[in-house]
């Protein structure tokens, strides 16, 4: 949702920060890597039950995630390698965060509910895969109720108090599943449109071109 409707507004805010960081020779890859470090710290804080600290670290993780793209644009060094690195780090960060949630649930005796964060992670990866596969086919699969920004915000809400921790996780699972189904439906419909039939070459033109090539070849031999 934020990716589609609010990206322009967010970029207007982050662009000056991106230029400021470029002036201080901070690269997008450095921000991406440091964001992964903060995500790992967030996971440890969640697992240890220190949720107020986890909220602070999660916020810093989100800032790094927003600013690495702004720095790449401001430095005019946006590249396929940087985009690939950012996507891989995002998936690793998602795994760390849900791993921290799973450890917390295990430590507090929630039994089979430890599968809940893994279900969220599975649908999260499905959302990411659908977008990547659709774009490789020349189709669009952006948008939805629960993209990465929304997931991080909702996780922060879950960490506010133990009373809402599990209900918000269930809500996150439902919304990520709805997003995955919505993307599948959009891509399925777009892929069902008939592809344009390529025009067959005019045989007369082909024969004429062949005769010209043969004449030129004979002339060259003589």
Spell out the residues 6+ positions from residue 35 whose beta carbon is closer than 8 angstroms to its own.
61, 64, 65, 68, 89, 93
* Catalytic pick among 29, 68, 86, 90: 90
> Whole-angstrom Cα distance, residue 178 to residue 173?
9
> Whole-angstrom Cα distance, residue 208 to residue 73?
51
164-200: string of b/e by CB count within 10 Å (b at 16+)?
Answer: ebeebbeebbebbbebbebbeebbeeeeeeeeeeeee
Concerning whether 90 is annotated as a catalytic residue, the answer is yes
If you compute the radius of gyration of the chain from its CA atoms, what whole number of angstroms results? 25
Active site residues: 90
């Amino acid at each position: 949702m934020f990716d589609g409707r609010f990206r322009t507004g967010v970029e207007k805010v982050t662009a000056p920060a991106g230029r400021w960081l470029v002036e201080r020779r901070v690269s997008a890859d450095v921000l991406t890597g440091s964001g992964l470090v903060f995500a790992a710290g967030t996971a440890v804080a969640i697992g240890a039950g220190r949720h107020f600290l986890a909220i602070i670290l999660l916020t810093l993780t989100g800032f790094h995630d927003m600013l690495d793209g702004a720095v790449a644009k401001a430095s005019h060094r946006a590249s396929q390698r940087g985009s690939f690195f950012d996507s891989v780090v995002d998936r690793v960060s998602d795994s760390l965060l849900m791993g921290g949630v799973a450890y917390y649930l295990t430590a507090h005796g929630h039994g089979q509910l430890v599968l809940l964060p893994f279900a969220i992670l599975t649908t999260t990866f499905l959302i990411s895969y659908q977008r990547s596969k659709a774009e490789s086919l020349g189709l669009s699969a952006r948008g939805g109720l629960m993209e990465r920004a929304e997931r991080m915000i909702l996780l922060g809400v879950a960490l506010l108090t133990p009373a809402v921790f599990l209900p918000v996780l269930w809500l996150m699972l439902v919304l990520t599943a709805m997003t995955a189904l919505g993307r599948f439906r959009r891509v399925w419909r777009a892929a069902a449109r008939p592809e344009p039939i390529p025009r067959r070459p005019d045989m007369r033109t082909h024969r004429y071109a062949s005769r010209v090539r043969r004449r030129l070849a004979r002339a060259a031999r003589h």
